[in-house]
Structure 1
């Protein structure tokens, strides 16, 4: 049987993950990325990898790269929390997650730096990934598909996989009724070195917490830490990876969610410095600890993202062109399922294509089975993330008062307030 050739548009997490699995199965794979280099632009910072994401990486990656991934994730031996608070860090409620002291339970979620994971995924694929190649359209036929690029070149393969993100030109061509909806919210994200002047910026009561602070006027502030189990430089060297890790130190990842009406015009075109100044201005009502993360941030790492949510296709024709990840099911970051769903797509599509090759089945049958199965879990996650986002951006004045004032006050009477344990060693303002 002739070798099956695959063109993957997009060298993000899912595209690279899929490439590893198919190459190991004997497929001829090439990956095309519109950016000029791997880290040409920011695509997020710390992400949570859950049991689905971990299982997908374990299935698709060579064993030594999967071990490297585990080595550079966060430790899992401590109990962790997700806390929802008001803007002064008065606690509304918290969720508790038990740790795994052994670190070997792959059902235990862990944190990973997105850039570090993407660098790990590139390892071994350097000669298969082509940068500066923007996919603009595709043509599907009975004997394969042709992928066209913005530079006028093209390639003919057995199957094309669109993994080229929320602005996918291929999705607009093949699923024209699925343009993502605007959630009317923006996110400003940043990264701040965790240890500065010999001290951690995160107070000890919040060291193992992810925190979403609900603020006035539907604004919200999220933060969590990214601590590496093993320093990336050390881990890369130990596993014989010659690439330079993109991140060397532990950090705080923070994000501000705000309604479109409160964001500056043309936010996506603002300079890093202007975005950072704006982030400082709109967090003046938040606790000094939260303000310190913005104040001491790496300004060059500040970025703005329009938060969008995918629309499920009313019909999805089967062809030699299919999609995965943000190209087809973009979702708000609330819930932390976007990256995991994309990795899950990669493992599922690899499984279907590899089974078709072994059994001599038509690739269209594999694509049909993949699209049907993926749609069930992916768009369920999209809807869940939208619901969670609405809960975090309450507009009803009465409910807003209950959540931001009444509940934290009641909890402060019943228990020692979280804010009494927080200290801030900084030059801006005293603790409130």
Structure 2
């Protein structure tokens, strides 16, 4: 396998996950990342890793790194909830999840900080991840591929994998008819330290809940907590990891979802400070808990995101090149499937490539098999996420009145109100 070289564009979750698996199998794998350094920009916040994501990490990562991943995930409470409410936190409905306090059931979803997971996966790949290498195009033949970079450099590989995100230049080159669609919703994401002024910014009644508060004009506010099972700095030291953990304190991840026409300026023209002030303005009529999360946020972590949805290719005609994650099937955050699907891609592609070499089959056959199987589950998740986003942005006036006023009033008879404590 050492004679087969794989060039991965993008050092995100899927790219690093694939690199670990192929490296353990004996492939010559190199990762090329356009960012100048590992933490040159924000890499997202808390994400939910489901059974597919957990299985992918267990398959691909060295055992010690997988154990470190488990150690830094949020504690698995016996019972947790996802609540949909109105802007005053009046409950519309809730979903109940049974946890596994022992932490041994790997089918039970758990939360982890995205930057922390990425840092864990950089361990062991220090000499194979090349920062400041922006891919601009590739040329492929039946024998391999040549990848060109913005600095004038180029490399040859048996296979090129595009894991370079929603704005993938390789997808634009090889699949120009499948640019992601704009679903006309934008988001503002933020982070607020969980413990401030000797107290929690989240009331105890919502300690184990994720909340989506539906507001006026299709405005929505989501928040959930990221509580590390073991402090990252302690866990990294215990497992002998040389990386420096990027996040050390528990926090609340929050996000605002709103129609793009409600943004005052195009995304690129809004600084973190401007975004945070705008978020405060449009949440003035929300529950005090939600206002507090925005007001006490870490301004530097506030950023804007345009929600898009990938289009399923109907034909694959590119030899020795394929794609993973957001580079192909980006999806709205509703459902928490994006990161899990990307990790699932990495595990599946590694499995197909390893099997092809063992069975003396062509790389083209392995790529084709991967693309066929991946397309089925990935674009099913894209459609599911789009449908969920649509349900959270109901336009029918009668339905909105029932959801935001009538149902919360009825449920308030039996439910305790949310306090600010």
Q: Same fold (TM over 0.5)?
A: yes
Map 1:283-294 to 2 at 5 A. 283-294=283-294
C-alpha distance in 2 between matches for 1:388 and 1:328:
20
Counterpart CA distance in 1 for 2:305 and 2:268 is 7
Contact between 1:88 and 1:287, CA under 8 Å: does it hold in 2? Answer: yes
Determine if the alignment matches structure 1 residue 95 to structure 2 residue 95: yes
Q: Deviations over 1:306-355 (max 9, x none)?
A: 01111111212251000000000000000000000000000000000000
1:221-370 pair list within 5 angstroms? 221-370=221-370
- Offset of residue 2 of structure 1: 6.1
Larger displacement relative to structure 2 (277-286 or 309-318): 309-318
CA gap of 1:78–1:145, structure 2 versus 1, over 3 A, is same
Distance 2:65 2:415 in 1: 45
Determine the structure 2 residue equivalent to 1:375.
Answer: 375
Partners of 1:13 and 1:140 in 2: CA distance: 25
Report the counterpart of residue 402 of structure 1 in structure 2.
402
Counterpart CA distance in 2 for 1:261 and 1:120 is 38
Deviations 1:251-283 (A, max 9, x none): 000000000111122223211111110010011
TM-aligned CA deviation for residue 161 of structure 1: 0.2
1:143-195 CA-to-partner distances (Å, cap 9, x unmatched) read 10111111111111100000000000000111111110001111000000000
Q: Contact 1:191–1:252 at 8 Å: present in 2 too? A: yes
Q: Determine the C-alpha separation between the residues in 2 that align with 1:370 and 1:105.
A: 28
User: Which residue is 1:14 aligned to?
Assistant: 14
Residue 151 (structure 1) aligns with: 151
Shift of 1:214: 0.4
Query: 1:430: which partner in 2?
Result: none
For the 8 Å contact 1:74–1:228, the answer to whether it is kept is: yes
SS at match of 1:94: strand
In structure 1, the residue matched to 2:35 is 35
Indicate conservation of the 8 Å contact 1:318/1:367, yes or no.
no
RMSD across aligned positions (CA): 0.9
Partner of 2:3: 3
Q: Given the two structures, how large is their TM-score scaled by the length of structure 2?
A: 0.99
The Cα shift of 1:136 comes to 0.9
State the alpha-carbon separation in 2 of the partners of residues 112 and 240 from structure 1: 20
How much does 1:130 deviate? 0.4
Cα distance in 1 between the residues matched to 2:331 and 2:246? 26
Aligned twin of 2:417: 418
Instruction: Name 1:83's counterpart in structure 2.
Output: 83
Deviation per residue, 1:10-57 (Å, 9 max, x gap): 000000000000000000000000010111111210000000000000
Partner of 1:429: none
What are the superposed Cα offsets for residues 116-153 of structure 1, whole Å, 9 maximum, x if unpaired? 00000000001100001011111110110111111111
Conservation of the 8 A alpha-carbon contact between 2:8 and 2:30 = yes
Q: Does the 8 Å CA contact 2:2/2:26 hold for their aligned counterparts?
A: no
Report deviation, 1:67.
0.2
Number of matched pairs: 421
What is the TM-score when the length of structure 1 is the normalising length?
0.96
Partner Cα separation in structure 1 for residue 367 and residue 49 of structure 2? 26
For residue 118 of structure 2, what is the aligned residue in structure 1?
118
Q: Any conservation in 1 of the 2:2–2:28 contact (CA below 8 Å)?
A: no
Contact 2:2 2:27 survives alignment (8 Å): no
User: Deviation above 3 Å: which 4+ runs of structure 1?
Assistant: none
Contact 2:77 / 2:208 at 8 angstroms: preserved in 1?
Answer: no
Measure how far apart 1:416 and its partner are.
Answer: 2.8
Aligned residue in 1 for 2:66:
66
Please list every run of 5 or more consecutive structure 1 residues that lacks an aligned counterpart in the other structure. Answer: 425-432
Partners of 2:210 and 2:341 in 1: CA distance: 20
Structure 1 Cα separation of the partners of residues 2 and 115 of structure 2: 36
| In 1: Cα distance, 2:308 partner to 2:146 partner | 29
Structure 2: give runs of 5+ residues left out of the alignment. none
Residue number in structure 2 paired with 1:163: 163
Does the 8 Å contact 2:46/2:253 carry over to 1? yes
C-alpha separation between the residues in 2 aligned to 1:2 and 1:196? 52
Aligned equivalents of 2:56 and 2:25: distance in 1? Answer: 15
SS of 2:177 mapped into structure 1: coil
